[in-house]
Amino acid sequence: MTTLPALGGIQVERDELISGSEAIARACVLADVDVITAYPIRPYDTVMQYVARLIANGELDCEFIVADSEHSQFEMVKHASAVGARVFVGSSGVGWFYAFEAITVTAGLRLPVVAMVGNRALDDPGAFGVEHNDALAVRDLGWLLTWVDTAQEALDTALIAWRVAEDPRVFLPCAISADGAFLTHSQQIVKVPGKKLVQQFIPPYNRGNLVLHPDNPITIAPQVNEDWLMEIRKQTDEAMRRAKGVLAEAYQEFGDIFGRRRDPFIEEYETDDAELVLVGMGTLAMPVKVAVRKLREQGQKVGFIRVKWFRPFPTQELQQSLSRFKAVGVVDRDFSMGSPSYGGVLFNEIRSALYPLPQRPAVVGFIAGLGGREIRVPDVSNMIDMTRKTVEEGRTDQQTHWIGVRE
Amino acid sequence: MATVAVEVVYRGVFQKSLAKEICRGIVFAARKEGRIGTAFGRYGDSPERNGIPAKQYAVVADGEEELEASLSQYEPAEVDVTIALDDTLCKGVESWAWYGLQPVNKLVKENGTLIVTSVQSPEDLVRSIHRNGVPYNLAILRGQPSFSGLWVYRDDHTDVRVLGALSKSCPQLFSLASVEETVKEQWRSDLKVASARRAYERLMTRLVEPGEGNPEEAYSYHLLPWQEMREGVVVPAVPKGNGFRGGDKGFEPARNPHFKKFATRSMRPVVNFDTCAKCSLCWLHCPDGCFDITPEGLYDANINACCGCGICEEVCPVKGAITMVNEALFTENGSQYELWKAQGKEGYQTWVGEKVTAQKGFGQWSHGYHHKGQYETELALASKEAQ
Ligand code: SF4
Ligand code: SF4
């Protein structure tokens, strides 16, 4: 098949058949990213392959550095971001963990690095499939963290990520999580916007007087000890709080410019008259939506809520939404060994977000789809049944259930 | 129309681009008829190894909702059409991990179609395909299976010929007209449009009844429940092999009983024990340690372990002592040394002669490029054939 003509200069929207990974690489072209660093690990490597191809085709003009390890890879973008370059980086599973020292300081130094995490189980034992524990590891550090569920959403969210991360009110790094295989490797038709519109949406990255430059003599990250550190943490905390509003603004304007309007933080599906809902993140949405439609045909009042931004956590949104239901089943594609109720990370966060409410729904936890195991429609029906039973049996069983484990 | 799912079974690396182009072509052609689709590879197959059976899929539906169910699966539960891009895959699909051996038609639904690119007769193919339990159609797209390398794409029109054949076998997917339009747009070649049409016109189809085919049960693995698995991610290692046999002369190494390899190859070595110089080079170079050393000091390629890479033939200094022969010419995986002993020199030479002669009918090695300029020569030939 002949290659498509270069899109770099094309201003009109067009359709492309691309995977979630390719969509994010395409977003790099649209956002005119300056520096991209790479180190291969599956499934993230599909992004770097596509970036390399876009550069080879003359569609993307950037510094593309294939590093000697993930640690160097993330260090490089951190420094590039400090001197004012728009950057993109990414990894998966233990690759992401290998870069962790750099990842930690990136948030502390308020550098708006945008990263893609192709979710993958943490080896050993070796497994390429999706598990959310890799990306979730940044949840306490000051990284913005989101999950996308289609290639279109991957492209759109990447554009939003640069805009919000580089907003001077925020200046925080942002990780876009994409489920390995189901999103990173599936090709769908994606609407690729024209570059002019994107430029209208994402202003140039301007670090102002924080930029590392000879004309602006500064030192970044001196030793601070107990004299300064708590205040620095508080600044990051405030930036994360502000990010909430900046995200809402960005989604509003994204809709105005590109015509695709979405709720920024959560997606509600068939919830209007629902009595119970499942909650989850990422491509889990697909089998759940299919199951919800099937059960609704049988008269069951069930719905689904997809959490899109995990950091900042949509606390108010979920409080308002979930307090309408009798029971909530939270599906985690992650684990948190030894946590309260031996539940998943999302389960415990949601339960904690609901605690201040006078009227709390029952919350049941499910751990499913680890290591990329498929979550099938019957699994979803099963989880909905178990959630319902909890209410019928007097909410005694607000515990964690493993779904799809061989026993 | 509900969803229509198409599976493309192919040889890893050598046919990866071909499979991808076909799946993308399906999505584009379906779009011509107002349908949406997705194309994806089976995740566990990648990173691909040379020749290992692998799969890609295209799923087409009327709307987003119908498509949704397919987007969170590694492979559909059943497909309307399976396309086998190499006919030796009819013996079964054994990919990496614990899938076992999947019959090539495993996912084909009742009255669905298996399309095979092949020069074999339908009868020969049916003999090697496992029984399905339901009737299905076997369609043969006549031609040598198309193989290329990692970085080159053999533009011999197999891509568009498969699309043309699909519109015949599965009219609910799209019409020939949509294929022609797509080929024109995506490939920009009138010659390719003609190839697609000709494939549509010439496709041979034969109904396969449930009782027909290879009666063997494809091997599979029993996966343990979590309570019964050893803790600490520990699995048993390969047990000790037979070691020395017949005194201290022969040697039979240990092999993994779980991972057989016979479905991963499209060719196998035929060893001529009567001309072998016992130099041991094949044994030294075989990447998979396939050679059992016989008490006579001969080297017997263990056909259950051989991946068909052809290195033994490359390194053998005696012309004709090892010949790579197309897998389609074999029905079992027994030891050639045992055959040699049982049949005696004359009988064995007849057998070797038959295989080597029959191999000539298949032309080149079935995969890869082995000398400079081979791609160009073959391309010219293939284009001529297509015309
Ligand atoms: S083809 Fe020859 S070298 Fe290759 S795996 Fe088989 S026996 Fe070994
Ligand atoms: S390389 Fe050829 S001659 Fe040497 S031992 Fe093997 S089969 Fe015999």
| DSSP per-residue string spanning B324-381 | EEEGGG-S----HHHHHHHHHHHHHHHHHHHHHHHHHTT-S-SSS--STTHHHHHHHH
Nearest by CB to residue A374, choosing from B36, B74, B186, is B74
Calculate how close chain A gets to B385, using CA atoms only, in Å: 20
Average pLDDT, chain B: 89
Kindly state the percentage of chain A with pLDDT values over 70: 97
Asked if A158 contacts A183 with a C-beta cutoff of 8 angstroms, the reply is no
Asked if A306 contacts A323 with a C-beta cutoff of 8 angstroms, the reply is no
Q: Are residues A277 and A359 in the same domain?
A: yes
Residues from chain A that touch B224, judged by Cβ atoms under 8 A, are 406
Q: Is B43 within 8 Å of A181 when comparing Cβ atoms?
A: yes
Determine phi and psi for A17, rounding to 5 degrees: -95, 100
What is the ipTM metric for this complex?
0.89
Work out the burial of residue A402: count CB atoms within 10 Å of its CB; fewer than 13 is exposed, 13-18 middle, 19 or more buried.
Answer: middle
Please give the pLDDT value at position B221: 82
The overall longest dimension of chain A from CA atoms, in Å, is 69
Q: Which stretches does DSSP call E strand in chain B?
A: 4-11, 36-41, 53-61, 79-84, 108-118, 136-142, 204-208, 243-245, 250-252, 267-271, 291-293, 299-301, 322-326
Number of neighbouring beta carbons within 10 Å of residue B50? 17
Asked if A152 contacts A191 with a C-beta cutoff of 8 angstroms, the reply is yes
**pLDDT tens readout for residues A187-234:** 999 999 999 999 999 999 999 999 999 999 999 999 999 999 999 999
Q: Is A283 within 8 Å of B72 when comparing Cβ atoms?
A: yes
Residues from chain B that touch A186, judged by Cβ atoms under 8 A, are 38-40, 71
Average pLDDT, chain A: 95
Asked if B214 contacts B206 with a C-beta cutoff of 8 angstroms, the reply is no
pTM of the model: 0.91
Q: Are residues A213 and A307 in the same domain?
A: no
Nearest by CB to residue A185, choosing from B43, B47, B68, is B43
CA distance B176 to B156: 20
Determine phi and psi for A189, rounding to 5 degrees: -75, 125
Q: Could you tell me what percentage of chain A is helix, strand and coil, using 3-state DSSP and rounding each to the nearest 5?
A: 40, 20, 40
Task: Nearest chain A residue to B36 by CA: give it.
Answer: A189
Omega within 30 of 0 (cis) for the link into A40: no
Residue A156 sits in a domain whose CATH number is 3.40.50.970
Q: For residue A213, what are the domain limits?
A: 2-258
B311 lines ligand 1 (CB under 6 A): yes
Average pLDDT estimate for A92-119: 97
**Please, which residues bridge with residue B81 across strands?**
B6, B113
A203-206 LR contacts (CB < 8 Å, sep 24+): A203/A163, A205/A84, A205/A85, A205/A86, A205/A112, A205/A162, A205/A166, A206/A84, A206/A166, A206/A168
In the listed set A240, A258, A276, which residue is the last one of a domain according to the structure? A258
Please give the pLDDT value at position A1: 42
**Please, which residues bridge with residue B57 across strands?**
B7, B40
Q: Are residues A51 and A104 in the same domain?
A: yes
Give the C-alpha distances (Å, rounded to integers) separating A8 from A5, A22, B131: 9, 15, 52
Calculate how close chain B gets to A91, using CA atoms only, in Å: 16
Q: Are residues A374 and A307 in the same domain?
A: yes
Residue A360 sits in a domain whose CATH number is 3.40.50.920
Q: Are residues A285 and A166 in the same domain?
A: no
Please give the pLDDT value at position A2: 39
CA-based angle B192:B194:B195, to the nearest 5? Answer: 60
CA of B318 to the centre of ligand 2 (A): 7
Asked if B379 contacts B137 with a C-beta cutoff of 8 angstroms, the reply is no
**pLDDT tens readout for residues A371-405:** 999 999 999 999 999 999 988 888 776 789 999 99
Average pLDDT estimate for B6-28: 95
Q: Are residues A97 and A174 in the same domain?
A: yes
Question: Residue A49 domain-assigned?
Answer: yes
Q: Are residues A54 and A199 in the same domain?
A: yes
Q: What is the dihedral of CA A54, A201, A76, A42, to 10 degrees?
A: -50
| Residue B113 scores a pLDDT above 70 | yes
Q: Which stretches does DSSP call E strand in A132-280?
A: 144-148, 174-179, 186-192, 266-269, 276-280
Q: State the pLDDT confidence band at A274, using cuts at 50, 70 and 90.
A: very high
CA-based angle A369:A371:A373, to the nearest 5? Answer: 40
Q: Are residues A29 and A168 in the same domain?
A: yes
In chain B, positions 278-337, which contact chain A (CB-CB < 8 Å)?
A: none
Question: Residue A114 domain-assigned?
Answer: yes
In the listed set A242, A258, A274, which residue is the last one of a domain according to the structure? A258
Nearest by CB to residue A17, choosing from B39, B71, B225, is B39
Determine phi and psi for A338, rounding to 5 degrees: 80, 5
Q: Is B27 within 8 Å of A182 when comparing Cβ atoms?
A: no
Q: Which structure tokens are listed for B369?
A: 């490029």
Residues from chain A that touch B95, judged by Cβ atoms under 8 A, are none
**pLDDT tens readout for residues B169-208:** 999 999 999 999 999 999 999 999 999 999 999 999 999 9
Residues from chain B that touch A372, judged by Cβ atoms under 8 A, are 43
Q: Which structure tokens are listed for B86?
A: 């190499």
Question: Residue A407 domain-assigned?
Answer: no
**pLDDT tens readout for residues B265-312:** 889 999 999 999 999 999 999 988 899 999 889 999 999 889 888 899
Q: Which stretches does DSSP call E strand in A160-252?
A: 174-179, 186-192
- CB under 8 Å to B56, separation ≥6 — which residues? B7, B8, B10, B19, B20, B22, B23, B39, B40, B41, B42
Q: Are residues A292 and A254 in the same domain?
A: no
Structural domains in chain B, CATH included, are 4-208 (3.40.920.10), 236-362 (3.30.70.20)
Question: Residue A69 domain-assigned?
Answer: yes
Give the C-alpha distances (Å, rounded to integers) separating B29 from A173, B4, B58, B60, B230: 41, 13, 11, 10, 50
Quote the number of domains for chain A.
Answer: 2
In the listed set A258, A282, A314, which residue is the last one of a domain according to the structure? A258
Nearest by CB to residue B188, choosing from A2, A43, A374, is A2
Determine phi and psi for A258, rounding to 5 degrees: -100, -10
CA of B291 to the centre of ligand 2 (A): 10
Amino acid letter, residue A264: P
Residues from chain B that touch A182, judged by Cβ atoms under 8 A, are 71-72
SS3 (DSSP) at B117:
strand
Task: Give me Rg for the CA atoms of chain B.
Answer: 22
CA distance B105 to B90: 8
**pLDDT tens readout for residues B350-375:** 999 999 999 887 766 655 666 667 77
Average pLDDT estimate for A232-250: 98
CA of B315 to the centre of ligand 1 (A): 11
Question: Residue A70 domain-assigned?
Answer: yes
Q: Are residues A274 and A252 in the same domain?
A: no
CA distance A51 to A38: 10
Q: Are residues A12 and A57 in the same domain?
A: yes
CA of B239 to the centre of ligand 1 (A): 22
Q: Are residues A127 and A275 in the same domain?
A: no
